[in-house]
Structure 1
Amino acid sequence: ATAERTFGKIARGPDLPPRIRPVEPEQNTKRTVTLTDARVSVPSFSTQWVVPSYHTAKPGEAEALDLLAEILGGDNRSRL
Structure 2
Amino acid sequence: MTKLMECVPNFSEGRDQAIIEQIIDEARNIEGITILDYAPDKDHNRTVLTMIGSPEQIKKAAINTAKKAAELIDMSKHQGAHPRMG
| TM-score w.r.t. length of structure 2 | 0.28
**Greater strand share, 1 or 2?**
2
| TM-score w.r.t. length of structure 1 | 0.29
Structure with bigger gyration radius: 1
**Greater helix share, 1 or 2?**
2
Greater relative contact order (Cα < 8 A, sep 6+) = 2
